[in-house]
Amino acid sequence: MAGEPGNPDDERLPLFVVDDPRVSYARVDRPGDEPPPVKNVLDVAVLDMHHGFPNLGHASVVDRLMRIGQEERKRLGPGTPGVRVVSYDVRLGQAVPAAAARFPLVVGTGGPGALDPRENDGVSPYAQGIREDPAWERLLWRFFDALLAERGTAFLGICHSFGLLARWAGFGEAVVRPPEKGKSAGVVTNVLTEAARRHPFFAGFHHASLGGRIQVLDSRLFDILPAGRGPGVVLANEATPDGVPGEAITMAELDRFADGTPRVWAVNHHPEIGDAGEQRARLLRIADSRQLSEEWLRERMQALEAWNASEAAERRLQMTSSYTLGEPVRTILARALAERRAGA
């Protein structure tokens, strides 16, 4: 189904309603639902990995993309193409984009359950109640192959999508966090690597951080540990209780554009959660409309409270969101819109 900016009764869609009629949203629940390209409209893809579970992430990703699209259209002025965010239900609907080249940008969301769909048996604690058909993984791996080869398409993987990218590329393996570590939830510390300090884009992030120490918003049961296979530059690690870099990889890059902007990169945190007040409103709306556990609601409320704990915490989290999502995404979309307008 295509075209409407958002339905406030559906937590998959953004609370933010754009006032630009040429910025829109489409949902692909099954492979046959994919809308055809539209002349003078730039499509951006979202891979929804939530398996139908209540979440804040999908709507937040769509929201950020629509906001940036509207802002860049306004900045670039008359003749700028429209922007449509097309969301694919990968795990429940087996819906994956037919062609990577259609999109200048693809964003993969977080999601529940094990990172290997064959391990989601509906019983194990890390499966989080999910029992799924793993056939989507073959389709997604094929799409990743095409995406890496398509030099004009960028990809940002968030949390669950970070783990999937690590498994597909071979640079990391998913391991359930041991009991002594428990779930990584709320505001935690990561440490940027030397590769990040020397990166043409992320060097600014390292310089602005506390000696490479950054604050991130986490919600994960798995660590991604080095596997030593395939491409992948590690840009950040989880911090140990002593504040030094641990083994778990939390940010990586597979490729970058000629100007240094990341092209294929992923993070194991949630940079899409960019406005705590707006997220609280979205969370309460979801809670009113679905049967949710008190634990699920409490964990997310606590994370939002930690976000707002101080101006310093707010500033550090916003900086992480800006460097790992906002600025690279804006650069990629602005360039694609300008190129499409020039070629119209």
Picking from 283, 55, 313, 59, the residue whose alpha carbon sits closest to that of residue 187 is 313
Assessment of whether the complete model's pTM goes beyond 0.95? no
Given a cut of 90, is residue 162 above it in pLDDT?
A: yes
Mean pLDDT along residues 80-99: 97
Q: DSSP 3-state assignment of 31?
A: helix
In this predicted structure, what is the pLDDT of residue 329?
A: 98
| Predicted pLDDT of residue 343 | 78
H or E segment to which residue 23 belongs: strand 23-28
Q: What is the amino acid identity at position 35?
A: P
Q: Which amino acid is it at 303?
A: A
pLDDT-based confidence at 275, cuts 50/70/90? low
The residue among 235, 116, 112, 123 whose CA lies nearest residue 183 is 112
| CATH, domain range 23-342 | 3.40.50.880
How confident is the model over 163-197, as pLDDT tens digits? 999 999 999 999 999 999 988 988 899 999 999 99
pLDDT digits (tens, 9 = 90+) for 216-255: 989 898 999 999 888 899 999 999 998 899 999 999 999 9
- Percent of the chain exceeding pLDDT 70 equals 89
**Pairing of β 41-48 and β 82-89:** parallel
The pLDDT value recorded for residue 47 is 98
- pLDDT-based confidence at residue 289 (cuts at 50, 70, 90): low
